[in-house]
Chain A
């Protein structure tokens, strides 16, 4: 007995490695689709609904007969808001589950974490969130906005007469790469519009910052110097305390409008929006858009949420990254259909110039070279019912400029996707 126990101890430690790696069972005649969104940890708040909308879209595509005669089979994993785990799970999806395509990631750091894996293994990732640009990988298709498809039109609006004619800008963000790059681009853009550095204030808060008393007081102080607007790249969770403080300290949208790039319908669910009417957000899609494609999309989503008994289904909303996921998956399915295969190289080729009638009311086209979607820009005003009212939008979808012309050195960047940028 004594000896056996010791053997146990050793065999256990040796077999740990194999534990949990043997569950892959190949099912025949399906195409596997990886879904790489955090379902636990800090990012679950944003990413869970993307997983659900991806599953809904898969159901819809399957209901129409799937792709190339095969049904899609989702493989959902939980990278738990842990960035190294994103890389591990990405590798697992590509090598163990052998998925044809992956839909996933929200934060830039998670994308940066999986990027080397996808480039190494020649995988295909659809990234559905607005981001800072400065990237163009042949293995990623970016269906969210690049800065010129969101930030710059938004600031132009703030400077226009309708937007309040702002001359001073308080750039408030969470301290990570997206706000930093966006603000860098915005600063260069504002300079080109004749705004001096003394009229631009850049402030960053740590992740999960919950006490905005000092910052709101500073905004008030700053706004005394002339017509001011706040451009907020504050990340998801911190928005609730920020807006609550704003409302309670009596800073109204008519005096100092806040233009947010990361606040959508989903984030507003956690806030009472009555005191916030008039604050703004810039996106490429809003749930309130009035067109038949969107009406169907919203109705489908609400029905799906109810049918699956998702938590809070009675208040289910759609938002921009959800639309981007939906559009991305349809584009991929069309391309795979066109290519007659799910081979990454063939699909990539077929995706160039692929277009889809999107819920935003526009026909969105995947650019022929730069892997980014052409998107319309919309400015929405927060309404008292938690929805946005579109006050301004572009005539047609804009082509993305992932290498912003406002960042020095970008002139030499290639205009097509190259590995290892």
Chain B
């Protein structure tokens, strides 16, 4: 897997076909929210349930893509991406809570008998500042953590365990009610965003379209990165960091850049996830969730751009189905899926497709 699949595939299949297929997928995703605006009872109407479900999965797909950028390309397996995702979500949630509370304090604060907002809530009633926080909070945390981690050349399993500890610490911190983020309940009961009713079909459709746009944008960004010299340096980093250093490169900057970029992408995904799902709480930071994100990437095929999207979609789609169809035993299916994929599809689903190409 020296070359990202998309690059190889594009070379093989020619740019035109991939463009056509990409356009079809994009059009379907754009059509979904528009169809949801049809009146009730229309045979083509897409229900709010499907729209929010797909929207949620698309957010997860962005996380998977972001994780793939650091794991698949730079070889840094993060088991803490849920933290960045949740931070973005919380930043957005702060704004939504302020909007719902109007001039008063958010409900959970009056419940704690707090009289005034803590300092870190300052300015969150402005949408623009909330957007800045969506980028800044995960970005700066990633920058600080990454700076120290890469400076002392922590890598491999150590890096994974450290990121896991990081998200675990974050979860514990946000679980505390005194931290000022609603404790275990987190934020719920949002009313409106920028004055638009959050449950209105129009708002849902716009949020969905934004998610599609973010996904498309990150995909494009990933593609450009993969093609550029930067991408090749990253791949070299993953495969033989020491040799890269002997060649005169300083890997720290490269790592740090992709790491922060990935965290910011996760934060943005989280910000879009919260208004669509309607709740953000520390459960999103649990190490389990981050491990699951790694599973999506592995399942789809790491080091490729399409793989993570496939993986996130498949696992979450199956999960939604299994939890209804076989509520008692669905974990067996999920567990078996992970084992089978790691044993027999070391390159993920994309690897399976690729293998057929090379008889």
Contacts and interface: CB of A to CB of B under 8 A. Distances in A.
Given A16-B314, A116-B199, A91 B24 contact: no
Given A13-B306, A175-B184, A6 B324 contact: no
Contacts, number: 178
Contact of A176 (B57, B185, B314, B331): B185
Interface in B166-223: 172, 175-177, 183-186, 188-191, 199
A21 B13 contact: no
Which of A84, A108, A116 has the largest count of B CB atoms less than 10 A from its CB? A84
Nearest to B17: A3
A1 interface: yes
Interface string B45-89: 001111011101100000000000000000000000000000000
B36 to A, nearest CB: 12
Nearest to B304: A9
Nearest to B51: A17
A228 to B, nearest CB: 25
Contacts of B12: 2
B189 A115 contact: yes
Contacts of A39: 327-328
Contact of B9 (A6, A88, A175): A6
Interface residues of A, number: 58
Contact of B320 (A3, A88, A115, A177): A88
B317 interface: yes
B353 A9 contact: yes
A77 B318 contact: no
Given A21-B53, A84-B278, A107-B184, 7 more contacts: A19-B318, A77-B323, A96-B47, A109-B184, A176-B177, A176-B185, A177-B108
Contacts of B322: 20
17 contacts: A2-B13, A5-B357, A6-B13, A16-B310, A17-B54, A17-B317, A20-B325, A77-B323, A84-B56, A88-B49, A88-B53, A88-B277, A91-B52, A116-B188, A120-B199, A175-B175, A176-B184
A109 B327 CA distance: 21
Contacts of B112: 180
A78 B108 CA distance: 28
B342 interface: no
Contacts of A109: 184-186, 188, 281
Which among A9, A21, A177 has the highest number of chain B CB atoms within 10 Å? A9
B189 A420 contact: yes
A181 interface: yes
A95 B330 CA distance: 23
Nearest to A109: B185
A9 B314 CA distance: 12
Given A6-B13, A23-B321, A175-B176, A13 B110 contact: no
Interface of A: 1-3, 5-10, 12-14, 16-17, 19-21, 23, 39-40, 75-80, 82-85, 87-89, 91-92, 95-96, 107-109, 112-113, 115-117, 120, 134, 175-177, 180-181, 184, 204, 206-207, 409, 420
Given A13-B313, A16-B313, A109-B186, A85 B323 contact: yes
A108 B12 CA distance: 54
A20 B326 CA distance: 12
B17 A6 contact: yes
Nearest to B108: A177
B15 to A, nearest CB: 12
A401 to B, nearest CB: 16
B336 to A, nearest CB: 15
Most buried by B among A6, A10, A96, A409: A6
Contacts of B176: 175, 206
